[in-house]
Amino acid sequence: MSVSAGTAEVEAKRAGNGRAPRRPVEELDSVVIRFVGDSGDGMQLTGNEFSKAIAKAGHDFATHPDYPSEIRAPTGTLFGVSGYQIQFASRQVFTSGDAPDVLVAMNPAALKTNLADVKHGGIIIANGGAFTDNNLAKAGYKSNPLEDGSLGGYRLYRIDISDLTAHALKDAGLSKKDVGRCKNYYALGLMLSLYSRPLEREEEDIRRKFARKPEIAGANVLALRAGYAYADATEMFITAYRVRSADIRPGTYRSLTGNHAAALGFVAASELSGVPLFLGSYPITPATDILHELSALKHFNVTTFQAEDEIAGICSAIGAAYGGVLGMTTTSGPGMALKTEALGLAVMLELPLVIVNVQRGGPSTGLPTKIEQSDLLQAVYGRNGECPIPVIASSSPADCFDCAIEAFRLAVKYMTPVILLSDGGIGNAAEPWRIPDPASLPKLEVKFRTDAEGFQAYARDANLARAWVRPGTPGMEHRIGGLEKDFLTGNISHDPDNHQRMVEVRAAKVAGIAGDIPPLRVEGPEKGDLLIVGWGSTYGSIVQAREQAAAEGYSVAHVHLRHLNPFPQDLGDLLKRYRTVLVPEMNLGQLSRLLRERYLREVVPLNKVQGKPFKVSEIHDRIVELM
Amino acid sequence: MTDMTEPATLTKKDFETNQDVRWCPGCGDYAVLAQVQKLMPTLGIPRENFAFISGIGCSSRFPYYMETYGMHSIHGRAPAVASGLKLARPELSVWVVTGDGDALAIGGNHFIHAMRRNIGLKIILLNNRIYGLTKGQYSPTSQLGMKTKTTPQGSIDRPFSPVAVALGAGATFVARTVDSDLAHMAQVLRRAAEHEGTAFVEVYQNCIVFNDGAYDAITDKAVRDDARLLLEHGKPLLYGKGRDKGIRLRGLEPEAVTVGEDGVTEADLVVHDEAADHSGLAFFLSQFDAPKLPVPLGVFRAVSAPAYEDMNNQLHADAEARRGRGDLAGLFNSGDTWTID
């Protein structure tokens, strides 16, 4: 915990029991909390609720859910541990934080797998009742770490959350199973007390959330209050902490994951263009939530089709696009591989299509629930033939909303498939999203050709885009397909010169998008010692590392690329203005390769492939080394 | 749809394109193309509302020769492309033209799932029991022991029946016809066109280059009447030149008998029921093969079930009735929100 100014004051107002304040309150700049437990313990829910409570108090936050690929791995095992980390602060927050200040561990396995990350001297809240001989053995502990003094370097609080929850709810008349489910809220109550947050808002939320099950709502409120009161009454935390509210732009906010934000963006693209949306998709981690979200929005002009496989997912979207709607498909790495042939077809057909790849650890099945950025070269190059496709990438959960609209803007304007890269970190992590006024969003122009006079299926406009014609339009019946086609009519052509011309025009069309990308925004000096070039979910870590280094007096700038194919027109010039270019990526240097190849410029790669995001310190350390 | 144009004024010629047809002279595909072109103007659907979708193979060149909207997609995937088109534009008449390799080998998955959903596609499978475009390899319908370029010692792959696969996948309309019997083909295609939901038609089609004569037993006028069984709804299973042969059941075993011999009368014969509740009879017929039993042609099964695209439209209507037409501001502001001043 970074303690600011050391101001100890007496807590002015207490929620819950109304008793006189006792504990001193310390002011902090930022706090990182990690909730860890069995994958069935509800850690994702607890983390989510805590982040909402924090956000409503005016903090910025960033989260990182970390969960195993098994839905409910055997209880108490090391591989079944699920975690949720949140950082909140009195300033803007870009990452979920490097090392937790507080670890809430629901069992020995959770403690064992996470202890090494906790800051020295940090707080450990352990669910004491779960530290049974059996659970200790499963986690490989020879003795109980809560009792053997091995946690001497931390502030350890042992609380039997399960039993205390059960005790608080003994008169609630709930089944044992339902009581067990309330322990999340007990843990939440503990944390709200520790961080001096009032209970009322959370109670209102619980009552709203369980409006149809008032007895469950009541029980959860009881558990929440019990946790809060316990922390308070036992004075278990010597000090309470308060993080000042962040200086956040006024507006109405909500917490959104990247997948949810993408879904909203796609609906917005449909509403802004007046063209229906069609999603053909096959369930795959970590992309499926986009399909979930859109499936529930049939009161918009949204059709979702859970296809028989990944190939049918994209092919149905191509069929829909041919029919004149906004066709799209969602997937992750292995599914992307299966869609490859159909991507080529979409390039030949020159129909608008959006393909979302929420990347995960690869190759093959890889690490389905862990994050990686290793599908960039696949997106740019991975097809047979000369097969150019524009590629964009979102840099944060909320950015997925804007990228979804941008993907369709390019797709319909240039009549091309567009690949949108996200990753499991962005897709599942949440951050506050400032809700836009729909009237402030860009209009999406879609024109269908209906004039049969002089129509040629592959005649092009100034952007080299051909016309979009809906079947059902009289007098314009025509055939398209995957065979090479005549430059103008679209009829099959095996003519050598025509093929050269078509390959070149498809490449020129995509390359031309470079002129349609807004100027790059550079953080830091316009020229100098070091430029960091990033893309995707490394955004937060890079921003913080750069700010830290800049504050230390280093000349370091940062540019984050949304458009990866083609690159923005001003990127080449920018790269020349710095002595060194550093490229942090969660792969073995894929953007580095693209930059070297395109600009003949040496760059310094910083690569991490551990299924975990960059720590700020990892990037900061490399910046300092390069100075 | 029909009030916008005068479909009655269209003719077969209106459905022919200016593209040179590139099938081998004598190929059975020509007959199917001609029948389809003849059928189209009689369906009361404006020409611009037809779309023909195909995959890869000889049969999949079909859309290029139809003066309608069309797409020559990728190998095996036509039912998936067509499903997306039909869902996006339910008012279109969407046809899939495929072959035995395209539909049953590389595209088997899409083929069965289209029929499972009962989505409104008309699927015509041109079955020549061989890979033609790649010049003569065996297919999933090639006979056991058949010598091809990839089976020089004879095929050890057991073939399956497209009709049986379709029935197993829950198809609501399943029929079979043959390229050389134009009247029969016209009749079957019309029935398919008029069916709601997925209509599947297998066409026995002769490949003159790589598998010539595959269907001689049922197409040769001299012998075909004894080798094929023309299915008629509500009629006994009768066949033969003198229409004196029939099928009766011995337990669950079919038996070819002669009416008038050994005391057999028409009343002993199985009566065809294409609309039976379950597909047992249709599946039973799909197992018939020469020479032991006659090869059935005609409609195996035609039952009514809700079409997928209609159910999908209903989902939208229900959602809108329950929640009202969605608006962006409402969607953005749903869930937990908070305001920072």
**Which A positions 344-403 lie with beta carbon below 8 A of chain B?**
344-345, 349
* Beta-sheet strands, E only, within A452-577: 479-481, 522-523, 528-535, 556-561, 563-565
Work out the minimum CA distance from B167 to partner chain A, whole angstroms.
18
Render pLDDT for B164-179 as a digit per residue (tens, 0 to 9).
Answer: 999 999 999 999 999 9
A2-243 and A522-626 in the same fold: no
Residue B334 domain-assigned? no
pLDDT confidence band for A179 (50 / 70 / 90): confident
Whether residues B231 and B241 share a domain: the answer is no
Cβ–Cβ < 8 Å for A456, A449: no
Whether residues B138 and B246 share a domain: the answer is no
* CA-wise closest residue to A73 among A167, A138, A152: A138
Would the pLDDT of A230 be above 80?
yes
Number of separate domains in chain B: 2
Pairing of strands B245-250, B238-239: antiparallel
Q: Which residues pair with B57 in a beta bridge?
A: none
Pairing of strands B121-127, B173-178: unpaired
Got the DSSP string for A120-154? Answer: TT-EEEEEGGG--HHHHHHTT-SS-TTTSSTTTTS
Would the pLDDT of B7 be above 60?
no
In this prediction, residue A239 carries a pLDDT of 67
Got the DSSP string for B136-160? Answer: SB--TTSPTT--BTTBTT---SPP-
Whether residues B249 and B154 share a domain: the answer is no
Beta carbons within 10 angstroms of residue B341's beta carbon: 5
Alpha-carbon distances of B86 from A247, A608, B46, B262, B309, rounded to whole Å:
51, 45, 16, 54, 7
Work out the minimum CA distance from A568 to partner chain B, whole angstroms.
31
Render pLDDT for A79-104 as a digit per residue (tens, 0 to 9).
Answer: 888 899 999 887 888 888 889 999 99
CB-neighbour burial class of residue A598 (10 A; exposed 0-12, middle 13-18, buried 19+): middle
In this prediction, residue A63 carries a pLDDT of 87
Q: List the CATH code of the domain at A2-243.
A: 3.40.920.10
Mean pLDDT computed over every residue of chain A: 91
Q: Is A480 on the interface with B (CB under 8 A)?
A: yes
Whether residues B256 and B293 share a domain: the answer is no
Question: Residue B326 and residue A325: Cβ atoms within 8 Å?
Answer: no
- Which residues of A fall within a CB distance of 8 Å from B87? 278, 303, 305, 316, 320
Whether residues B297 and B264 share a domain: the answer is no
* CA-wise closest residue to B338 among A428, A427, A201, A185: A201
Work out the minimum CA distance from A298 to partner chain B, whole angstroms.
5
Q: Domain limits of chain A?
A: 2-243, 255-440, 522-626
Would the pLDDT of A20 be above 60?
no
Q: How far apart are CA B253 and CA B269, in angstroms?
A: 13
3-class DSSP string for B196-218: CCCEEEEEECCCCCCCCCCCHHH
Work out the minimum CA distance from B62 to partner chain A, whole angstroms.
10
Whether residues B150 and B28 share a domain: the answer is yes
pLDDT confidence band for A600 (50 / 70 / 90): very high
Question: Residue B89 and residue A342: Cβ atoms within 8 Å?
Answer: no
Residue B245 domain-assigned? yes
- Find the CB nearest A477 among B48, B88, B323: B48
Question: Residue B63 and residue A479: Cβ atoms within 8 Å?
Answer: yes
Render pLDDT for B104-163 as a digit per residue (tens, 0 to 9).
Answer: 999 999 999 999 999 999 999 999 999 999 999 999 999 999 999 999 999 999 999 999
Residue B302 domain-assigned? yes
Single residue among B219, B249, B271 that ends a domain in this structure = B271
Q: What is the mean pLDDT of residues B305-323?
A: 97
Q: What is the mean pLDDT of residues A495-502?
A: 98
pLDDT confidence band for A6 (50 / 70 / 90): very low
Give the best residue of B77, B97, B111 to mutate against chain A (max A CB count within 10 A).
B77
pLDDT confidence band for A236 (50 / 70 / 90): low
Q: How far apart are CA B341 and CA B338, in angstroms?
A: 10
pLDDT confidence band for B191 (50 / 70 / 90): very high
Whether residues B62 and B132 share a domain: the answer is yes
Residue B336 domain-assigned? no
In this prediction, residue B8 carries a pLDDT of 52
CATH number at residue B134: 3.40.50.970
Q: Is A158 on the interface with B (CB under 8 A)?
A: no
In this prediction, residue B134 carries a pLDDT of 92
Single residue among B256, B271, B286 that ends a domain in this structure = B271
Residue B130 domain-assigned? yes
Whether residues B218 and B306 share a domain: the answer is yes
Chain A residue with Cα closest to B317 = A299
Give the best residue of B10, B72, B97 to mutate against chain A (max A CB count within 10 A).
B72
pLDDT confidence band for A13 (50 / 70 / 90): very low
In this prediction, residue A238 carries a pLDDT of 63
Phi, psi angles (nearest 5°) of residue A402: -65, -40
Share of chain B above pLDDT 90, in %: 92
In this prediction, residue B52 carries a pLDDT of 98
Share of chain B above pLDDT 70, in %: 98
Q: How far apart are CA B198 and CA B192, in angstroms?
A: 9
Q: How far apart are CA B229 and CA B218, in angstroms?
A: 9
In this prediction, residue A235 carries a pLDDT of 67
Residue B158 domain-assigned? yes
Q: Which residues pair with B299 in a beta bridge?
A: B175
Whether residues B227 and B96 share a domain: the answer is yes
Residue B31 domain-assigned? yes
Q: How far apart are CA A161 and CA A234, in angstroms?
A: 14
* CA-wise closest residue to B334 among A35, A20, B326, B26: B326
Would the pLDDT of B34 be above 70?
yes
Would the pLDDT of A243 be above 90?
no
Q: Among A119-123, A588-592, A594-598, B85-89, which stretch is predicted with the lowest mean pLDDT?
A: A119-123
Question: Residue B80 and residue A319: Cβ atoms within 8 Å?
Answer: yes
- Find the CB nearest A322 among B85, B91, B332: B85
pLDDT confidence band for A334 (50 / 70 / 90): very high
Q: What is the mean pLDDT of residues A505-521?
A: 98
In this prediction, residue A314 carries a pLDDT of 98
Alpha-carbon distances of A562 from A86, A94, A116, A390, B26, rounded to whole Å:
25, 17, 34, 11, 56
Whether residues B212 and B117 share a domain: the answer is yes
Domain at A255-440: CATH architecture:
3-Layer(aba) Sandwich (3.40)
In this prediction, residue A12 carries a pLDDT of 31
Q: Is the dihedral of CA A309, A314, A319, A320 positive or negative?
A: positive
Q: Among A61-65, A128-132, A524-528, B26-30, which stretch is predicted with the lowest mean pLDDT?
A: A61-65
Would the pLDDT of A10 be above 70?
no
- Which residues of B fall within a CB distance of 8 Å from A264? 331-332
Residue B279 domain-assigned? yes
- The parent domain of residue B257 ranges over 236-271
Whether residues B195 and B292 share a domain: the answer is yes
Cβ–Cβ < 8 Å for A263, A291: no
Instruction: State both tokens at A107.
Output: 């069992």
Give the best residue of A210, A299, A449 to mutate against chain B (max B CB count within 10 A).
A299
**Which A positions 256-295 lie with beta carbon below 8 A of chain B?**
264, 267-268, 271, 276, 278, 280
Coil vs helix vs strand at A576: helix
Instruction: State both tokens at A444.
Output: 């999406």
Our CA angle for B223, B231, B236, nearest 5°, is 100
Our CA angle for A437, A440, A413, nearest 5°, is 130
- Find the CB nearest A56 among B56, B83, B338: B338
Cβ–Cβ < 8 Å for A537, A511: no
Q: List the CATH code of the domain at A522-626.
A: 3.40.50.920
Q: How far apart are CA B53 and CA A480, in angstroms?
A: 10
- Which residues of A fall within a CB distance of 8 Å from B84? 278, 280, 305, 315-323, 327
Render pLDDT for A437-478 as a digit per residue (tens, 0 to 9).
Answer: 999 998 899 999 999 999 999 999 999 999 999 999 999 999
Would the pLDDT of A76 be above 90?
no
Q: Among A291-295, A485-489, B4-8, which stretch is predicted with the lowest mean pLDDT?
A: B4-8
Whether residues B246 and B290 share a domain: the answer is no
Would the pLDDT of A240 be above 70?
no
Render pLDDT for B246-262 as a digit per residue (tens, 0 to 9).
Answer: 999 999 999 999 999 99
Question: Residue A480 and residue B87: Cβ atoms within 8 Å?
Answer: no
